[in-house]
Amino acid sequence: MYLIPMAKQKKEKKPKRSFFSYNEENMNDPIKAVRENGMSRKTAAKTFEIPRSTLIRKLSGAVPLKRKMGPRTELSPAEETLLVDWILAMARKGFPVHRTNLLTTVKKILEATDREVRYVTGMSGRSWFEGFLKRHPNIKQKHAESLSKARVAVTQDRIEGWFDEILDYHLKQEKLDHILEDSTRIFNADEAGFSLCPKSGKVLGPNSYKEDFYQRVSSEKEQITVMATFSADGKYVPPLLIFSYKKLPKVIVETIPENWGLGRSDSGWMNSEVFLNMFLIILSLF
């Protein structure tokens, strides 16, 4: 006699309990109906299609009127508001906050207030950071363009003051202001620097900013400079390239276009010696 094992019957899965089937945004309506209009809690729960027990707990203050999904945040809403104000203020001043700076600041706040830091690394992680950005949509993260201290110091008032000084103390006093009437004698030269260390990492700043974020850098790192010069009548001077070499490599000298200028400085930035040599070249061309 053989015993044939009976197939195990699969247990029927119980239907998952549905949570929060009501509209949280309309919770104020049943509460107003009960408190101000005298509607019974049972009638209000049925009319607005919300659990009666939920309505009772919210009316009694046992739970907040607006629920908060997910785990608790590391900081209180007031503390996060202070962080947001700090991030926006630093971005406007040219010192945007990096993600690591923000997480380190959160860690210091938790340690200073004797609260538990619930992360292996000792600071809040990616999930907290992403949640922080979602809770505060007025902040966004993007790459920043680095600005040297010299460029940061340039303002509209200083530029206008420089032109006024040139006109009053150099042209008018020397009786050379008639030059301004001849477009062939007016030149504009401007330099553009290409940093050899351009990456600044992503930073935080106001979401309302349509333009790029800018970040001041404390050190003047090496770069390649290009000087372009144009006259008011439309002529242009061949560009000048400035490299940070003690001696220009042969491959650069041989590959640069024949009529372009070459210069060198320790950092690759323009200096008075290079500018004077370029000015003498311009005079020789015209």
What are the tens digits of pLDDT across the range 143-196?
766 555 555 556 777 778 778 877 886 788 778 888 889 998 888 888 887 766
| Per-residue model confidence as pLDDT tens digits over 186-223 | 888 888 877 665 555 676 667 766 555 555 554 455 67
Nearest residue to 144 (alpha-carbon basis) of 85, 84, 82, 195: 195
User: Which amino acid is it at 190?
Assistant: D
Q: Which of 19-28, 33-42, 76-85, 257-266 has the lowest mean pLDDT?
A: 19-28
Helix locations, 67-125, DSSP H: 77-92, 99-112
Q: What is the mean pLDDT of residues 71-86?
A: 82
Environment class of 95 (CB within 10 Å of its CB; exposed 0-12, middle 13-18, buried 19+)? middle
| Per-residue model confidence as pLDDT tens digits over 234-276 | 988 888 888 888 888 888 888 888 888 888 887 787 888 888 8
Q: Rounded to two decimals, what is the model's pTM?
A: 0.40
Calculate what percentage of the chain has a pLDDT beyond 90. Answer: 2
d(CA 2, CA 7): 15
Q: What is the mean pLDDT of residues 68-76?
A: 65
Q: Which residues of 68-84 are buried (b: 16+ CB within 10 A; e: fewer)?
A: eeeeeebbeeeebeebb
Q: Which residues contact 252 (CB under 8 A, 6 or more apart)?
A: 243, 262
